[in-house]
């Protein structure tokens, strides 16, 4: 039997669950697997991109058979599958094995807790090209990184409110947690000012938000490059 393209094994699935939840503001995610680790990318409305990084050292076993393997899958279903035995940190650890046999096949996940075994198979799709926010460094007026506790994200509606000031103009970006359809909004952008938001989930207990705020010359330049 041929070995799968991706084979991962970990003794505590709850670590992965918390990281994936940090970027679960849309269900469809693009997965990139390399020898260094797994990157999970989620995008919304062509103006926000979330990335979760899972370093290969996090796993008990880690094997990727090509330089880079990419596909899309439903992140919500993946999180639900990994959470099938619960997510309480006080409960027993849940070990899991994930395998991806070949391009177009499903993600096969095997979970075990205290001798009880569950198996899931999640449909995958072809990966699309993700957004590439490419801003000239000479035009960047503000760049900063915020580290926030995940405890801040348990509010019922508002997840993050970020205000950026540039060249005397005030612009607002409001991200409302997706607790009901179409509640992600990005409002009150000053014309000709481009704000790129990159929300990354770290392997520790914090999330990282990077905002690159750029003044551009015309409206067409204010759109992210595909």
Query: Could you tell me the two tokens for 153?
Result: 């994200």
Distances (CA, A) of 11 to 19, 58, 111, 156, 224: 15, 10, 10, 31, 40
35-57 burial string, b = 16+ CB within 10 Å, else e? eebbbbbbbbeebbbbbbbbebe
Phi, psi of 121 (to 5 degrees): -130, 120
Q: How far apart are the first and last CA of the chain?
A: 40
Separation CA 141–CA 209 (nearest Å): 17
Fold for domain 6-125? Proliferating Cell Nuclear Antigen (3.70.10)
- What's the confidence (pLDDT) of residue 51? 87
Ordered per-residue pLDDT tens for the chain, 226 residues? 689 999 999 998 888 898 898 889 899 999 999 999 999 999 887 778 888 889 999 899 999 999 999 999 999 999 999 999 887 767 778 999 999 999 999 999 999 999 999 999 999 999 988 877 665 555 555 555 444 444 433 332 223 333 333 333 333 333 333 322 333 333 333 232 334 444 444 444 444 444 444 333 333 443 433 3
Whole-number Å distance between alpha carbons of 58 and 93: 15
Please give the angle made by the CA atoms of 6, 8 and 14, to the nearest 5 degrees.
135
Q: Which among 150, 15, 17 has a CA at the least distance from the CA of 80?
A: 17
Relative orientation angle of helices 75-82 and 13-21, to the nearest 10 degrees: 150
Separation between Cα atoms, residue 164 and residue 143, nearest integer Å: 10
Whole-number pLDDT of residue 5: 96
As a residue count, the chain comes to 226
Domain ranges of the chain: 6-125, 137-222
Closest CA to 28 of 18, 39, 42: 42
**Residue located via tokens 């072809």:** 126
Q: What is the pLDDT of residue 181?
A: 31
| Res 136: pLDDT | 55
Residues 6+ apart with CB under 8 A from 64: 5, 6, 33, 34, 35
Question: Residue 143's pLDDT is what?
Answer: 54
The whole-model pTM stands at 0.62
Residue with tokens 């760049």: 143
């Amino acid at each position: 039997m041929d070995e799968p393209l991706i084979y991962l094994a970990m003794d505590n699935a709850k670590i992965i669950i918390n990281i994936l939840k940090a970027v679960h503001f849309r269900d469809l995610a693009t997965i990139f697997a390399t020898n260094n680790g797994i990157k999970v990318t989620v995008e919304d409305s062509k103006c926000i991109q979330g990335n979760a990084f899972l370093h290969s050292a996090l796993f008990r076993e880690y094997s990727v058979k090509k330089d880079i393997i990419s596909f899309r899958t439903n992140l919500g279903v993946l999180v639900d599958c990994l959470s099938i035995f619960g997510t309480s940190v006080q409960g027993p650890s849940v070990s899991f094995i994930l395998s991806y046999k070949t391009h177009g096949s499903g993600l096969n996940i095997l979970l075990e807790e205290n001798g009880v075994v569950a198996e899931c198979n999640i449909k995958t799709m072809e990966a699309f090209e993700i957004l590439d926010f490419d801003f000239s460094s000479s035009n960047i007026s503000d760049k900063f990184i915020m580290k926030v506790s995940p405890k801040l994200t348990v509010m019922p509606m508002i997840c993050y409110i970020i205000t950026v000031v540039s060249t005397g103009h005030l612009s607002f970006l409001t991200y409302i947690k997706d607790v009901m359809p179409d509640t992600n909004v990005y409002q009150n952008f000053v014309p000709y000012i481009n704000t790129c938001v990159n929300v990354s989930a770290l392997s520790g207990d914090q999330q990282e938000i990077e905002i690159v705020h750029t003044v551009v010359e015309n409206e067409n330049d204010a759109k992210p490059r595909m």
